[in-house]
Amino acid sequence: MAAAATPVAVLASRVRGEERQILATFERRGIPVTHVDPRDLPYRADDAVAPWLVVLNREISATRARYAARSLEAAGAVVVNSAAATELCGDKWLSTLALRRAGLPMPRTSLALTPDAALAHIEEFGYPVVIKPLTSSWGKRVALVRERDTAQAVLEHCAALPAPQAHLIYLQEYIDKPGRDLRVIVVGGRPVGAVYRSSAEWRTNVARGAETTVCPLTPALSKLATDAAQAVGAEIAGVDLVETTDSRILVLEVNQGVEFTGFRRAHGDSEEHDVAAAIVDLVLARTEAVNRP
């Protein structure tokens, strides 16, 4: 890695709508920024100086995001989100443990270290139950299981996958939500806003076609979301929550590489809910802190 040319870099192998908004915000403010594809960077153990002061990590690959963050931090850069937060949010079980340690309300959750052991866990849980891989996004490989035969079929599929981590089974209580869940985006410890994500399907990911509408950001919702982001150390976080039939709100997970196209679609061009602007403000604050004598 070469000597620094600009103080800020945006790390992304794929420039999606979110990255375009962030880069455009830097440009509008006249702030030099370098877009870097992490696949093109050499990572050397003897690098003494990072090429940038602050790196905004928007890499879509969880593995590349994790290793790039660790390497850049080792070379002295401030990475947002940090490598520790990226690793924690990238593993559903580890992030669940962090959220539980913080005393946050969650659905009942369990980890089985083999598919065979998972069946016994599910029998204790009772049906229906949600089976998730430890690392996934956009609702991929997430299964709602309502009876034993389906559970056996899903677990046999997991056992046949080549990656050892795929044999670890994350189980979560199914919450009979009202056709929607909630996402709150938190940047720098401040909730930027919230949306409902509604779908005819039980999975309410925007990537799977869910519709987003504005959700009122109450003080209780703000506190729950900021506490969840803090529990996993994420300065930029998409906190996913779900409502129960008895009006409780539970934390499902915290996403560190949060996508916000659906959020923006719901809130329009409101400056108050401008996620890209909030992210740029955070990066600039971190840059000023690094430069401060």
Neighbours of 88 (CB within 10 A): 21
Percent of the chain with pLDDT over 90: 68
Span 180-209, average pLDDT: 83
Pair (119, 197) in one structural domain: no
User: Nearest CA to 180 among 209, 211, 207, 208?
Assistant: 211
Pair (267, 191) in one structural domain: yes
Phi, then psi, of 167 in degrees rounded to 5: -85, -10
pLDDT at 61: 92
Count of domains forming the chain: 3
Residue 188 belongs to some domain of the structure: yes
Pair (184, 263) in one structural domain: yes
- Domain limit, last residue, from 173, 191, 214: 173
- pLDDT tens-digit series, residues 148-190: 999 999 998 888 888 888 889 999 999 987 788 999 999 999 9
Pair (215, 257) in one structural domain: yes
pTM for the complete prediction? 0.91
- pLDDT tens-digit series, residues 107-153: 999 999 998 899 888 888 889 999 988 886 555 778 899 999 999 99
Extended beta strands in 101-231, E state = 109-112, 129-132, 143-145, 169-173, 180-187, 190-198, 211-214
* Residue 269 DSSP SS3: coil
- Domain limit, last residue, from 157, 173, 189: 173
Residue 41 belongs to some domain of the structure: yes
Say whether pLDDT at 5 is over 60. no
Say whether pLDDT at 207 is over 90. no
Pair (21, 66) in one structural domain: yes
Domain span at residue 29?
8-89+280-291
Residue 42 belongs to some domain of the structure: yes
Pair (81, 12) in one structural domain: yes
